[in-house]
Amino acid sequence: MSTRRPYSHGVTRLESLGLHEETIQAFADFGASTELNAEAQLGRVARVDRGEVDVLVEDGEVRAVSDSQRSQSKIAPVTGDWAVVAPDDEVGLHIVQVLPRRTAMVRRDPAEQVSDQVLVANIDRVAVVHGLDQAANDARIERFLVLAIDSGAEPLVILTKRDLGEVSDEYRWLDSVAPVIVTSAEDGTGIEELRDAIGVGETLVFIGPSGVGKSTLVNAIVGDNVAETAEVRSGDRRGRHTTTVRELIELPGAGVVIDTPGIRAIGLWAADIALDEVFADVTALAPSCRFRDCTHRQEPGCAVKQAVDAGEIQAVRLARYQLLWQELAEQARDIELRQRAPSTSRRNKRRRK
């Protein structure tokens, strides 16, 4: 693989797509340990369909066959992966290997009782998007922020449609968790600031429900209509699912963005550390509680409950923290029980460590 051809900003095409030294080394190590076809090359997965993927390589884009079983197989790629592609006499180009991921956004698999699902990989920033034309939804934003922080990437909050709504006091808590950018694709507010948040070779992924303007933001950043958009319903301000797959899009400034389908609800997966970061105002008081294992419900000497009584923490925010904490605790118990039980499935389940 060549990394010497100039692309833009003095980097190669693959470097502009986010190629890091550890991935180059992983590619070299894999080649040294495997009898690779001489035409094998390294590329970044831009889109995953049923059994096939689009892969961006140094000299363009190729279509390759993949072993995609709900992203559980060791060689089943997701958008953002770095993969080795090689020709095969029977199937043509195919994914030989998915290389180790630097970061990954992982949720509880909605089709499984106890399993994770990788959504996107090798991301530098996760932008949680909320439209100001809708009522503030702290519970949903908190859940998305936990997902973002747990990925290992830097979280970012984007409040869209500034031309249709105000940044009220309800959003004041956001900048204590992540940087906030207020935007309007209609008049250009915040678009340049958002572009500046994506450095050369960096990857930003947009997450949020339908109708908040993720695809419109992509088009505004790129400066062209590369992502399909649709109007939200006037009755409830909910959007239609115009983006149906997670897709990686190159930027003129030698970085990439990933557009994702809208998600109204998302299951968290083993994200207790990220949960504590999003609710830092709650967890910072926990060491002052009388009991080390305080649940902040009825225990005497609870510093968190005292803060709620004093009006320093909203009771509803504490309730949301307790609900998410309980969800993750029950999930951990389910995982432990599943690991103890005899396997009844042939599928290779992946568990984060």
List, for residues 279-330, the tens digit of each pLDDT value.
999 999 999 999 999 999 999 999 999 999 999 999 999 999 999 999 999 8
Give the pLDDT confidence score for residue 265 in this predicted structure: 61
pLDDT at 6: 44
Name the residue type at position 270.
A
State the pairing for strand pair 256-259/203-207: parallel
pLDDT at 47: 95
> How high is the pLDDT of residue 51?
84
Three-state DSSP class for residue 53: strand
Cβ–Cβ under 8 Å, residues 161 and 231: no
What is the C-alpha separation between 330 and 337, in angstroms, rounded? 11
- Kindly give, in sequence order, each residue whose CB lies less than 8 Å from that of residue 136, ignoring residues fewer than 6 positions away: 130, 168, 170, 171
Burial tier of 345 (Cβ tally within 10 Å: 0-12, 13-18, 19+): exposed
Give the pLDDT of residue 252.
84
Fold match between domain 13-98 and domain 272-340: no
pLDDT for the residue 234:
43
DSSP code of residue 40: -
Q: Is 155 exposed, middle or buried (0-12, 13-18, 19+ CB in 10 A)?
A: buried
- Ranges of residues in the chain with a pLDDT under 50 are 1-6, 70-72, 230, 232-241, 343-353
8 A C-beta contact, residue 46 and residue 55: yes
What pLDDT sits at residue 128? 96
| Three-state SS at 59 | coil
Q: What CATH class is the domain 104-259? A: alpha beta
Count how many Cα atoms sit within 13 Å of the Cα of residue 93 in the half-sphere of its side chain: 17
Helices (H) and strands (E) in the chain, counts: 9, 13
Q: Considering the domain delimited by 13-98, tell me its CATH architecture.
A: Beta Barrel (2.40)
Which tokens go with 110?
């909605």
Q: Is 180 left (phi over 0), alpha (psi -120 to 50) or beta?
A: beta
Q: Which helix (H) or strand (E) holds 164?
A: none
pLDDT at residue 75, as a whole number? 63
Pairing of strands 154-160, 125-131: parallel
Q: And the tokens for 260?
A: 């994702």
Q: Which two tokens stand for residue 304?
A: 């968190």
- Annotated domain spans of the chain: 13-98, 104-259, 272-340
Q: Which two tokens stand for residue 235?
A: 């009755």
Asked if 65 contacts 92 with a C-beta cutoff of 8 angstroms, the reply is yes
Fold of 272-340: Ribonucleotide Reductase Protein R1; domain 1 (1.10.40)
